[in-house]
Amino acid sequence: MDRFNAMRVFTRIVELGGFAKAADSLQMPRASVTVLIKQLEAYLGVQLLQRTTRQVSPTLDGAAYYQRCVRLLADLEETEAVFSTRRQDPRGTLNVDMPSGIGRCIVIPALPTFTARYPRIELEIGLNDRPVDLIREGVDCVLRGGPALDESLVARPLVMLEQVTLASPAYLARMGVPECVEDLMHHQMVEYVSSTTGKRYGLEFEVGTELRPINLAKSVSVNSADGYFAACEAGYGLIQAPHYHALRQLAEGRLVEVLPRLTVPAMALTALYPPHRQLSLRVRVFVDWLVELCATPGLGLRR
């Protein structure tokens, strides 16, 4: 029995919650995965996994063994990278997740530069506004806008995203163009509801040294970035969003910036990954590339 391979299979079963999912993820026959776990449990003399008809979960011994395996496998990967040609040539599958707007507008259009630099890394990209369980879903790295809420993850700041206040031309023709904060009392907004926390967001402005929240009348609330923009374009009211996400709509005249002299608080964009992935060369080179990308002029991340 290859104990390191058995550890790798075991950790993936725990992370994905099933033998079949682990086998598919590792591109191994399902029968081989079952045999390896049986051999590993026999070698250790303990039951590592609790199997039911619906799910697979670690036993108490299995949970403790999982933590040790994660550290050992990360150390092994880093050691091999340091003492082999793979240090300069990272390879393998990298599973990343990011908001659909960031992926569609910023990351994916620039990806050819990353894949040209690291041709042996195969990327699996998820575009989601929902929260992702990195361990259970086998995700190596996520990009998230706003505060980094999970303190168990390693956070790498990427950029502070400039935000703007927007409305549709039809809405402004109907309601008038606001010239100052006081004018907003006669307007309405589209409310954004975080799919992660359930928190509801109105409008915010920096007035002097103070942050001034403004909640207006509303008739539509949404929990996705695409829905937020769609509701604004449909004339349901004002929104505030990262400037990069509105570049196309502004250029095509579907949206108009309002109150440009009032500062909207910037939004942090952060790369997050589990602590056991910080030694992964694939994760490191990808996050380093993201830092480089976010510093590129002309992307609309800063104005």
Calculate helix-pair angle for 60-82, 281-294, nearest 10 degrees: 70
Which residues partner with 222 through β-bridges? 192
**Region 58-73: what's the mean pLDDT?**
87
Q: Is the pLDDT of residue 116 over 70?
A: yes
Residue 207 pLDDT? 82
**Region 30-37: what's the mean pLDDT?**
91
Q: CA-CA distance, 142 to 35, in Å (whole number)?
A: 33
The pLDDT confidence band at residue 41, using thresholds 50, 70 and 90, is very high
pLDDT per residue over 175-209, tens digit each? 999 999 899 999 999 999 987 778 888 999 998 78
Fold of the domain spanning 163-265: D-Maltodextrin-Binding Protein; domain 2 (3.40.190)
Strands 267-273, 141-145: pairing is: antiparallel
Strand arrangement of the beta sheet that strand 141-145 belongs to: 121-127, 92-98, 141-145, 267-273, 154-161
Q: CA-CA distance, 169 to 254, in Å (whole number)?
A: 7
> Phi, psi at residue 109, to the nearest 5°?
-60, -25
Residue of 237 and 145 predicted with greater confidence:
237
CATH 1.10.10.10 maps onto the chain at 3-82
**Region 255-271: what's the mean pLDDT?**
93
Calculate helix-pair angle for 281-294, 108-117, nearest 10 degrees: 130
Which residues partner with 266 through β-bridges? none
CATH of domain 85-161+268-294: 3.40.190.10
The pLDDT confidence band at residue 84, using thresholds 50, 70 and 90, is low
The two tokens of residue 31 are: 């029968």
CATH 3.40.190.10 maps onto the chain at 85-161+268-294, 163-265
- The CATH classification of domain 3-82, taken from the options 3.40.50.1100, 2.70.70.10, 1.10.10.10, 3.80.10.10: 1.10.10.10
pLDDT per residue over 282-301, tens digit each? 898 999 999 999 988 766 67
Residue 55 pLDDT? 81
- 3-class DSSP state of 266: coil
Residue 279 pLDDT? 61
pLDDT per residue over 86-108, tens digit each? 556 788 888 899 988 899 989 99
Question: Is pTM beyond 0.85 here?
Answer: no
The pLDDT confidence band at residue 271, using thresholds 50, 70 and 90, is very high
Residue 80 pLDDT? 66
- Average pLDDT of the chain is 87
In degrees, rounded to 5, the angle at the alpha carbon of residue 143 between the alpha carbons of residues 141 and 144 is 135
